[in-house]
């Protein structure tokens, strides 16, 4: 699903929409600027994102559902209403324990 | 309320807690790293934050409530489940239309 990126000051709906199913994988870039990229993801239960790393720091916020997040040699559980940040370059992976809605923020500045 | 900053990979609860009132102003730095600062704010209805600017880009997410956000010469309404980003240096102000819970992310990288 291609959407125009939000401009500075423009409101974006990130919460679960009425009638929206989280049982299909999706990944939408809400905004991308010089310093930030904002990505909204729906991840169905059982779906895993294999280990990877990004250069910049990230924050990962769980809006709905539950994911198991692997980083720094341990697994942490991230539930709706919770957030974590991760230092740049740290390998990480996740698996959805339930149909989940996630907001990923990536710092692009070097 | 002083809390230790979250470390990389540590889960932080940002949603409204059971029994938590949003009718008192609070501002808590959840994390501060080289690249990011994460601030959780509760802003009671009627409370305003006067115009100011920060150097880096920000995202402002409304978790609960409703705020009127002034930037770029216009006022936009930000409600629970909505988010906006703002370019670095842009003057902005806000007023809470209802008791609100906000997550502010500031990019500190130059």
Chain A residues inside the 8 Å CB shell of B74: 9
Contacting A with CB below 8 Å, chain B residues are: 6, 8-16, 30-31, 33-36, 38, 56-57, 59, 61, 63, 69, 71-72, 74, 76-78, 80-88, 90, 92, 103, 105, 107, 109-110
Q: Do A72 and B38 touch (CB under 8 A)?
A: no
pLDDT tens-digit readout, A37-76: 999 999 999 999 999 999 999 999 999 999 999 999 999 9
Q: How far apart are CA A87 and CA A54, in angstroms?
A: 9
pLDDT at A110: 59
Q: Is residue B4 predicted with pLDDT exceeding 80?
A: no
What is the pLDDT of chain B when averaged over all its residues? 94
The beta strand positions in B1-110, using DSSP E, are 12-13, 26-32, 36-43, 48-52, 58-64, 66-71, 74-79, 82-86, 92-96, 100-107
Chain B residues inside the 8 Å CB shell of A94: none
pLDDT at B2: 52
pLDDT at A23: 96
Q: What percent of chain B has pLDDT over 70?
A: 95
pLDDT tens-digit readout, B33-58: 999 999 999 999 999 999 999 999 99
pLDDT band at A1; cut points 50, 70, 90: very low
Q: How far apart are CA B76 and CA B69, in angstroms?
A: 5
pLDDT at A2: 52
Q: Is residue B64 predicted with pLDDT exceeding 70?
A: yes
Average pLDDT (B6-20) is: 94
pLDDT tens-digit readout, A73-90: 999 999 999 999 999 999
**How much is the ipTM here?**
0.91
3-state per-residue secondary structure call for A7-52: CCCCCEECCCCCCCCCCCCEEEEEEECCCEEEEEEEECCCCEEEEE
pLDDT at B1: 46
pLDDT tens-digit readout, A4-25: 799 999 999 999 999 999 999 9
Q: Nearest by CB to A105, from B59, B63, B76: name it.
A: B59
């Amino acid at each position: 699903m291609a959407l125009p990126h939000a401009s500075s000051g423009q409101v974006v709906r990130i919460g679960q929409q009425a009638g929206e199913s989280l049982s299909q994988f999706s990944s939408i870039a809400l905004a991308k600027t010089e310093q930030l990229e904002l990505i909204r993801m729906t991840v169905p239960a059982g779906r895993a994102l294999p280990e990877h790393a990004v250069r910049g720091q990230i924050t990962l916020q769980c809006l709905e559902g539950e994911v198991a997040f692997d980083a720094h040699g341990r697994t942490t559980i991230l539930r709706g209403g919770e957030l974590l940040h991760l230092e740049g370059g740290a390998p990480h992976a996740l698996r959805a324990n339930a149909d989940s809605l996630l907001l990923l923020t990536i710092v692009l500045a070097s």
